[in-house]
Amino acid sequence: MTKSPSRIVTEDVEYIVKVLAKKLDVLEGTTVLVTGASGLFGSYFLDVIAYLNETTFKKNCRVIAIQRSDPSKTAKLKYLTDRKDITFVKHDARYPYEPETKIDYFVHSAGMSAPAFFQADPLGTVDINVNGIRWVLEAAKKDASTSVLYMSSGEIYGHPTPENIPIKETYNGNVSSLDLRACYAESKRLSETLCATYKREYEVPVKIARSFATYGPGLTTNDRRVIADFIRNGIEGKPIEMLSDGSDTRVFCYISDATIAFFEILLSQFNGEAFNVSNDLGAVRILDLANYIHEICDIKEPVKIKTREKADFIKDAPTVVMPDISKIKTYFNFEPKIDIKEGLRRTIEWNKEILKV
């Protein structure tokens, strides 16, 4: 049996499959195309389907995995590269890809979601978000596919006003088109509009998942997101240096909980709907996040707070991001289980286990 060399990932996958149970049976014998396969979201789809093919399905679910990087050099994916049920395709998702076979399910998770990326290449960020989902929707229309899952983001809400926190899916957002982060937020908003348009005009069965601060094994630790920066410092045994006073508040969602939500949405009949994907186990101040990582990594020095002016991509970020997940809980009985401390422990252990830090 081919299984992840990581105990953490194996436990995550077994938990995901246990929770979803028979709902996953519809994937047997189908073909799934996943963009952004080397990323956090995409790689967990591959992990779960590979596990199902090994343990449950009599007829494999075939996966076409699209990514820009070499999977054999990706810590999270290299154990899957010799499998016959997964075809890895090195391709830039900004440009159309034409599969040689009919695709039953599309999972579009490719994108530049990290501040380091959209700060360095704002036009590329727009291209991957808008052009990427456009060709996916066209392909789904052509194939009369069963379902399309578009991975959107809580960034589409921008800076919510206090009366709109927690943020419901019905909130239309408060985004400045001139902010540094707008290349990401506005292109995600346009991508959602494309999804809604293809649903109305062509009955493409697309659903939208708006994820919030998802983390876990496979998270890139050099992309300038706060949790990634902090985890990198922690696994290197260095005290965290904060660029603010740490009062900003976020809700973080561990990848196993998020993946359960993603599969629920993909396999549902709620075409044209958008769902917030996060948890309701408690909001966390950024300073508390840093202190948790110090505690887990046994860093004795205190968290350092720099008093210099915030970087532009931080200044443009909202101070409070807290989604309302009552919709996804009502539709799917979704119940996230992994709190921030347990999720951080698992993510840090994976880094030490697989990356040999």
Residue 246 covered by a domain = no
Determine the Cα–Cα distance for residues 16 and 343; give it in Å rounded to an integer. 15
Burial 190-203 (b: 16+ CB within 10 A, else e): bbbebbbebbeeee
Which of 50-64, 86-100, 210-224 bottoms out in mean pLDDT, i.e. has the lowest?
Answer: 210-224
Query: pLDDT for 231-279, tens place per residue?
Result: 999 999 999 998 888 999 999 999 999 999 999 999 999 999 999 999 9
Is-contact 269 230, C-beta < 8 A? no
Determine the Cα–Cα distance for residues 196 and 133; give it in Å rounded to an integer. 12
Which of 23-27, 46-50, 246-250 bottoms out in mean pLDDT, i.e. has the lowest?
Answer: 246-250
Q: What is the CATH number of the domain that holds 57?
A: 3.40.50.720
Which of 321, 312, 241, 247 is closest to 278 using CA atoms? 321
Average pLDDT over residues 283-288: 95
Which residues, in sequence order, are bridge partners of residue 67? 90
Q: What is the pTM of this model?
A: 0.95
Tally of structural domains, the chain: 1
Place of tokens 């016959």: 84
Query: Tell me, what's the pLDDT at 185?
Result: 96
Range(s) of the domain holding residue 44: 7-218+253-279+322-338
Question: Quick one: tokens of 342?
Answer: 């347990």
Which of 145, 266, 279 is closest to 207 using CA atoms? 266
Query: pLDDT for 188-226, tens place per residue?
Result: 999 999 999 999 999 999 999 999 999 999 988 777 788
User: What number of other Cβ atoms are within 10 A of residue 91's Cβ?
Assistant: 16
Residue 351 confidence (pLDDT) above 60:
yes
Query: pLDDT for 99-142, tens place per residue?
Result: 999 999 999 999 988 777 888 899 999 999 999 999 999 999 99
Residue 331 confidence (pLDDT) above 50:
yes
Helices (H), ranges, 111-168: 115-120, 122-143
Residue 208 covered by a domain = yes
Question: Quick one: tokens of 119?
Answer: 């700060």
Residue 228 covered by a domain = no
Residue 350 covered by a domain = no
